[in-house]
Amino acid sequence: MAALHGLGSVIYGKVCVTVPIPTTSVDLSNHIIIVTGSNSGLGFEATRHLSRLGVGKIIMAVRTPSKGEAAKKQILQSTGKQESSIEVWPIDMDNQDSVKAFAERASLLPRIDGVLANAGIMTGQFTLSEGNEKTLNVNVVNTFLLFFLLLPLMRRSEQQTGNPCRFSIPNSALHYMAPLAELNEKETLILDRLNNPKRADMAGRYPLSKLLVLYVVREIAERTKSSNKGRFIINTPNPSWCKSDLGKEMETAAYKVAEKLLARTAEEGSRTLVHGVLADETSHGHYLNNCHVQAPAKHVTNRWGQGVQKRFFDELLAKIDSIAPGISSTL
């Protein structure tokens, strides 16, 4: 039933919903927003929208700076904004040292108003990277490593400007059909189970990574709801199925036909991501679909899901603290 609901969400979004083109009444000319994975696909189109909306400084965080520079040139040609309004910074989301170096450089910024953590991968091949299966390393571990490393700057910026920084991580309706058996073994750490090459269910690994993102976003919001350290907003918008390079490893003839019928363009999907990175505090801790807060799958909200959420979050905190000792204390 969850899988059918997820499929229905994609079909409904394609057939019945026209995602609004991003607009804002807020003057963004002094804002600074980071977009990871911004040289192509959804990240590129989201950056173009943010430039069009007048964001004062966009940092395109990309793995290959030359590709970022080419994308920057294309965006500025289409929006007519000043060259100084976009900077290209290197980051490799599959490399913890690269994430740390990026965050250290970002800590020198005068303010930060948004982070669109768009970079992610989808692969059916099991590869260990930095001790983690690669999908988990990029989509979950290092994405939240970046969040924790930037959190002091996010809070300091809010205290100085009054504008809470948004940290927005793309999600997917595929979380409805994530394989739950991998989360059900209480005698084994969840991360150890997922990093076991003999037992990993790689066909469902991308959906599972998005389910884990949901758990962590919700738990961060829950654990900081009474904090007085400084406000921020974290959310996880679903752009739905979009034409992009994300699923290139999975392409078959049937996939291409379904993509043609059901997938949004990258530009259409990017509208939902821009909404997430500009959203107000009602989006905090939530799954967003078609630019609205929506309840996620029951295996997120029910008692079982809540137990897994807390268990996985504690494991992730321990993992992140092993990478950057003491960083979880910023929460």
Rounded to whole angstroms, how far apart are CA atoms 168 and 233? 8
Q: Sort residue 297 into left (φ over 0), alpha (ψ -120 to 50) or beta.
A: beta
* 3-class state of residue 249 by DSSP: helix
96, 130 in Cβ contact below 8 A? yes
Residue closest to 201 by CA, chosen among 183, 175, 174, 217: 183
283, 233 in Cβ contact below 8 A? yes
**DSSP state letter for 83:** G
| Residue in the structure block whose two tokens are 């974290």 | 234
Backbone φ and ψ for 235, nearest 5 degrees, come out as -150, 175
Active site (annotated) includes residue 206: yes
Total length of the chain: 331
Residue closest to 205 by CA, chosen among 305, 125, 146: 125
Which among 100, 210, 287, 319 is annotated as catalytic?
A: 210
Which among 57, 72, 81, 206 is annotated as catalytic?
A: 206
Q: How far is CA 90 from CA 43, 67, 71, 131, 140, in A?
A: 15, 11, 14, 23, 19
Active site (annotated) includes residue 210: yes
| 295, amino acid identity | A
Q: Which residues carry out catalysis? A: 206, 210
